[in-house]
Amino acid sequence: MVNATASQPSPQAAGAWSPLKVSMFRALWLAILASNIGTWVNDVAAAWVMAERTGSPLMVALVQSATTVPIVLLALAAGTLADIVDRRKYLLLTQGWMLLVAAVMATLTAFDLLTPNLLVLLTFCMGCGAAMAMPAQAAIVSELVPQPMLASAVALNSIGINIARSIGPAIGGVIVAQLGAVWAFGFNAITFAAMLFVVWGWKRDPKASSLPPEGFGAGLKAGLRYASRAGRLQAVLIKSVGFFFFAAAMNAMLPVVVRGQMHGGAGQYGILLGCIGIGAVGGALLLPRLRAKLDRDLLVLLATLALACSLVGLALTRSWYVLPVVMLVNGFAWITVLSSLQIAAQTAVPAWVRARALALYIMVFSAGMAAGGLSWGALAQRTSPELALLVAAVGAVVGGLLVWRVRIAGTEELNLRPAGHWPAPELAVPVSHDRGPVLVTVEYRIEAGDRALFQAQIRALGTIRRRDGAVVWGVVEDVATPGVHLEYFVTPSWLEHLRQHERITADDKAIQETLRGLHRGERAPIVRHFVGGQDPLPANVPHHHSDI
């Protein structure tokens, strides 16, 4: 078994390639790279088979969307499961499912039984497996490398995706052209088998918690609640909406343009897709320098404009010499935006909710790609591929300009490690986890001159309370004794309040320390816990002081 913590380099030595020195990250990175290559080979084969058998731009786009629609439908549920169950066992199950689907596609193709409808259905089934696996695959990065390496590890994942994008389509084109689609689908099945082998060898060291795992329903609500209060994560989602819908036009229209307008074959199609991947890998290698010189949000805007130019290039160019350059630009723009958003999504949330947050990002990404693919395919069928590409280019420019002031810069500087500074509540008798609701009050004494700063900080703390589990929060002032402020918040159960203790981060602690500094009095702010239920606590339960 491979130990995920073995052979880890010092965090101080973290660099662009240092995560590959961590043995388990390296093994999984290579396995995911192989799996992504297999997926591209599969996608090339599926798109080409559909284009060959139907000649319909809408049906080709439907194959593309059948891969991404399940992600829209299932990603959030998958992210919730990935946060509350053993991720190793979960990944084994999802990879096994995709191995089975790929094997069925290869078998049906071998016996000439793969009809267009079956192709869409099986592509949808493959998409379901990918939807269930993606949040877990994204979230395990933080388990495999130390925190200082996280941004580099996410960037390496992006490089891996685009290495696959650069060689996978070319391999797929060659396999389809020389051997046939059955070998392409079989190749994909083999890569899933390799992924299963590596995950089987992962000796996972899960983070210990004294609390029971969340149930599915509670975990789903907690993820949505967190996202509704997490401004940096919301910024990532907004940026994604403004980009992926329009970027989908390239994937949807490229096979139609190559086969219909340029009368090319699978080989040329694969080469052009490979150029997109090469541009992406080159862009990933240049990104560290670009990030050092340019604001992250400005960089995303410039890349969006470059992507719009590539869409215009595909619409207007019919030269086999110019189109590879257009694809290189598209790949460079794609990786710049994708990597920036992925790093921001990973670093904008703490570990306990990371898979759910990444699932939301993946869901928005996939919804944009699926809706965009269908929209541009439908528009091309009614008008022309050229017009669809030009409309998408204009939309990308407008969308990029509308969202560029929504800030994602600075997420890597957030300190979201658990602070662990809240002491356990003092109890006269044990309280069961299901007791509730729980009312917590904190009494502050604030001087008049500090009132404005206190109000600003307490509102920020209120967002944290609600983000981490409070269903009610507020602050009131004693009219008989000005300066005495009482903060209160309610959680549904004692267990949910204990989860708040585990979820408070180092950045959250800084806000609480500011409030402690504003408090005037001989003692710390007084904290009281009131618990509902059929077995009330004795009347003489003492209050206590804490950093809550």
CA–CA separation, 104 and 122 (whole Å)? 8
Confidence at 165, pLDDT banded by 50, 70, 90? low
Over pLDDT 90: what percentage of the chain? 35
Q: How far is CA 469 from CA 1, 136, 311, 361, 416, in A?
A: 38, 23, 45, 21, 17
Tell me which of 43 and 329 has the higher pLDDT: 329
**What value does the mean pLDDT of the chain take?**
84
pLDDT of residue 4: 43
Of the candidates 221, 227, 256, the one whose C-alpha atom is nearest the C-alpha of residue 240 is 227
pLDDT of residue 23: 87
- pLDDT at position 193 over 90: yes
CA–CA separation, 66 and 266 (whole Å)? 21
Over pLDDT 70: what percentage of the chain? 92
Confidence at 456, pLDDT banded by 50, 70, 90? very high
- pLDDT at position 2 over 50: no
Confidence at 493, pLDDT banded by 50, 70, 90? very high
Tokens 């528009």 identify what position? 379
Span of 24-33, 79-88, 287-296 with lowest mean pLDDT: 287-296
Confidence at 542, pLDDT banded by 50, 70, 90? very low
CA–CA separation, 483 and 519 (whole Å)? 10
- pLDDT at position 10 over 50: no
- pLDDT at position 397 over 90: yes
Query: What's the first-to-final CA gap in the chain, in angstroms?
Result: 41
pLDDT of residue 486: 95
- pLDDT at position 169 over 60: yes
- pLDDT at position 473 over 90: yes
Confidence at 547, pLDDT banded by 50, 70, 90? low
Is pTM beyond 0.85? Reply is no
What is the mean predicted confidence (pLDDT) over 67-71? 78
pLDDT of residue 138: 84
CA–CA separation, 239 and 464 (whole Å)? 23
- pLDDT at position 221 over 80: yes
What is the mean predicted confidence (pLDDT) over 226-245? 90
> Which tens digit of pLDDT belongs to each residue from 89-105?
999 999 999 999 999 99
> Which tens digit of pLDDT belongs to each residue from 276-290?
878 887 887 787 788
CA–CA separation, 432 and 304 (whole Å)? 53
CA–CA separation, 48 and 270 (whole Å)? 10
pLDDT of residue 544: 47
pLDDT of residue 441: 95
Tell me which of 262 and 61 has the higher pLDDT: 262
What is the mean predicted confidence (pLDDT) over 196-208? 81
Q: Looking at the chain, how many residues does it have?
A: 548
Confidence at 40, pLDDT banded by 50, 70, 90? confident
- pLDDT at position 261 over 90: no
pLDDT of residue 217: 87
pLDDT of residue 15: 59
Q: What is the DSSP letter of 346?
A: H
Instruction: Name residues whose C-beta falls within 8 Å of residue 313's C-beta, 6 or more positions apart in sequence.
Output: 322, 323, 325, 326, 329
- pLDDT at position 267 over 80: no
Confidence at 548, pLDDT banded by 50, 70, 90? low
Return the top range by mean pLDDT from 376-380, 389-393, 513-517. 389-393
- pLDDT at position 266 over 80: no
pLDDT of residue 209: 64
Return the top range by mean pLDDT from 157-171, 502-516, 526-540. 502-516
Which residues face 531 on adjacent strands?
438
CA–CA separation, 210 and 67 (whole Å)? 39
What is the mean predicted confidence (pLDDT) over 20-25? 87
Q: How many helices (H) and strands (E) does the chain have?
A: 17, 7
pLDDT of residue 167: 74
pLDDT of residue 158: 74
Return the top range by mean pLDDT from 23-27, 145-149, 238-242, 439-443. 439-443
Span of 86-95, 206-215, 332-341, 448-457 with lowest mean pLDDT: 206-215
- pLDDT at position 320 over 50: yes
* CB contact at 8 A, 475 and 458: yes
Three-state secondary structure call for residue 14: coil
* CB contact at 8 A, 289 and 157: no
CA–CA separation, 189 and 70 (whole Å)? 20
- pLDDT at position 298 over 70: yes
Return the top range by mean pLDDT from 137-141, 272-276, 493-497. 493-497
> Which tens digit of pLDDT belongs to each residue from 99-137?
999 999 999 988 888 888 888 899 999 989 988 998 888
